[in-house]
Amino acid sequence: MAIQDINKYNYKNIFSLSTVNFDNACVFNKPEQVDIYNIYWIKEGKGTYSIDFQKYDFQDNVVFFLSPGQVFSIDSEKIKKACKISFTKDFYCIQTHDKAVACNGVLFNNVYKTPFIKPCKKDTQKLDFILENLEEELKRNDVAQYDMLQSYLKQFIILSVRIQKDVSLVKDDIETKLFKDFSLLVEQNYKKIHSVTNYAERLGLSPKSLTKNFQRTGTQSPSDFIKARILLEAKRMLIYTNQSIKEIAYDLGYNDAAYFTRFFTKAENKSPLQFRKSDLFK
């Protein structure tokens, strides 16, 4: 990796802004688990990133959003201009600001949809203006710097949410709202609740009605949705923890490790142990 220029600004190890320029391809084969919130803005360049075991090809002006716990790797990239914003939960808590920013499940903490946006020319100018203000503020050592930095970050996230909603034409119909409510419930309870019936009851629906609503949105079934979330977390734990298969199974709500192994093997065509020993993760 050849770096032509890099500038990094930090605020008390809880917030940082980096601007970089690359002139050669950069390839990493080993995935890493994200431990803080990250925003990658690839202004000029192309490549392939893997996020939670899914590959995403991109070219020019794309903004990625990563949350703690996600698995991220760079398969290839050739970048001319890029920047990275990183922050901890202590600096800016996504959940706390959810009502004001409406970003929880839209950009961050969203393992179900494509984790990036492509801003238009006008929105790019707006995002650039925010970044310029961020960089200027980070160079200062003035009163209320924390509040100013947090304010600029919030503006960047709000604008990104608006871009995402404009591009994807997010609907407010009943089926879409139900999908959001269901996905949030799954995210909060997938380690202990695996039954579609239990989720349907919490939503005030019958399992049959919940399934029909999902069919109208063209998404996978509620059962497959739950299984996919469990499998994702199982993969993360197999790679980034030293827990035994039995311990992982228990943490994911399976009292019978053999049943968990059969479930995982059927879905991935390899056992949990084979997945952990895969050459990709060595």
35 and 133 housed in the same domain: yes
Query: Could you give the CA distance from residue 102 to residue 119 in angstroms, rounded to a whole number?
Result: 18
pLDDT tens by residue, 109-120 = 665 566 788 999
Domain holding 196, by residue range, is 174-281
152 and 53 housed in the same domain: yes
Where would I find the beta strands (DSSP E) of 54-143? Answer: 54-59, 62-66, 71-87, 116-117
Alpha-carbon torsion (70, 13, 116, 74), positive or negative? negative
pLDDT tens by residue, 188-234 = 899 999 999 999 999 999 999 999 888 877 778 999 999 999 999 99
160 and 62 housed in the same domain: yes
Please, which residues have CB within 8 angstroms of residue 34's CB and are 6 or more apart in sequence? Answer: 66, 67, 68, 69, 70, 71, 72
For range 121-146, the mean pLDDT? 93
**Which of 168, 192, 216 finishes a domain?**
168
Alpha-carbon torsion (258, 188, 270, 247), positive or negative? negative
Domain count, the chain: 2
Tell me, yes or no, if the pTM score tops 0.85: no
Q: Specify the pLDDT at position 25.
A: 47
pLDDT tens by residue, 66-106 = 888 888 888 888 888 899 999 998 898 776 655 545 445 56
CATH of the domain at 113: 2.60.120.280
| pLDDT higher than 70, residue 125 | yes
User: For the purposes of burial, counting CB atoms within 10 Å of the CB of 228, is it exposed (0-12), middle (13-18) or buried (19 or more)?
Assistant: middle
Report whether 254 contacts 260 (CB < 8 A).
yes
Q: Specify the pLDDT at position 145.
A: 94
Tokens of 125: 């100018």
| pLDDT higher than 60, residue 254 | yes
Report the candidate in 109, 114, 218, 214 with the shortest Cα–Cα distance to residue 164. Answer: 114
For range 253-281, the mean pLDDT? 89
